[in-house]
Amino acid sequence: MRILVTGAAGMIGRKLVERLAKDGHVGGREITTLAMTDIVEPSAPGGLGAESQITAADIAAPGAAERLIAYRPDLIFHAAGIVSGEAESDLEKGYRVNLDGSRRLFDAIRREGERAPYKPRLVFTSSIAVFGAPFPDKIGDDFHLTPLTSYGTQKAMVELMLADYTRRGFMDGVGVRLPTICIRPGKPNKAASGFFSNILREPLSAREAVLPVSEDVRAWHASPRAAIGFLLHAAALPPGALGDRPNLTMPGLSATVGDELAALNRVSPAAMRLIRREPDPVIQRIVAGWPQAFDPKRALSLGFRADSSFDEIIRYHIEDELGGSLPGRP
């Protein structure tokens, strides 16, 4: 199986290629070639047994997507994009990267199929930002898409294009609406949701973190480990499993900031002293339009599974990012 991962230098992309290298297969099919691309050159994962192709490319630039598709990957994970806060602050960049880049990739697939029969499975990392308030207590699978941010609008537009190109037989698309990913490793980024991770990741590493919203703010969460599981499960679904509705919302954990802090306190009471409360009206406004809980029956019926608690999410972070223990502890 030949695989292409766009956005392979990002958090999700990096973890995905590491998992692909570790497993060596997807859905029982051996990986023979793993191509990785991003706006900056990704790093090759350790232990990769398959042939690797690593490139730095801007898929929104003319010709870039065609070069990536020329070797006809069987499976494409499309994770390239910029995050919510940056897409909101830089309108042109958001539409160029998140929408135009996706369209060029999809059209490259279509044109390759016109040259000779070609229909890859494409897994797209969408977002629950495609939904907008007002919300019911739990958002079902039939709730309408009314995004309240440019980021959510861009994701919704790509979802529609993915559904249309799948309907027309150009690709076998699966749109995976990811929850808010927590705990994101690395440094704070420009995502409006970044504080959900910051208030856990930084104190767990003995660093100060800023909390810009109140503790009653609720969101739909998934760990990075769960998110990679979603993508791999989507890649292995039987053809046609989603019918005419190839985009679906992933299961997750509905929790408040207070729930996060309570879990942090159970792990490390001392870490709580490293959280500084600084209300931010811009972040508060964006977060107020986010969904808080879902009833993802379709995804659950198809075998997707989420984290069970924030205690579990914190445990995963300690295992995956901190070597199994907190700084200063054995």
Q: Order of strands across the sheet with 172-178?
A: 51-56, 33-38, 2-6, 75-78, 121-127, 172-178, 247-249
With beta carbons less than 8 A apart as the criterion, state whether 175 and 248 touch: yes
With beta carbons less than 8 A apart as the criterion, state whether 94 and 80 touch: no
- What's the gap between Cα 319 and its chain centre? 20
Residue 91 CB partners (closer than 8 Å, separation 6+): 150
Distance from C-alpha of 162 to C-alpha of 172, rounded to nearest angstrom: 9
Distance from C-alpha of 281 to C-alpha of 279, rounded to nearest angstrom: 6
CA-nearest of 290, 260, 288 to 139 is: 290
With beta carbons less than 8 A apart as the criterion, state whether 202 and 158 touch: no
H/E segment holding residue 192: none
Does 183 sit behind a cis peptide bond, omega within 30 degrees of 0 on the bond before it? yes
CA atoms within 13 A on the CB side of 204: 30
| Active-site residue identified among 71, 95, 118, 151 | 151
Decide: residue 238, CB within 10 A, 0-12 exposed, 13-18 middle, 19+ buried. exposed
Q: Is 71 a catalytic site residue? A: no
Tell me the catalytic residues.
Answer: 151
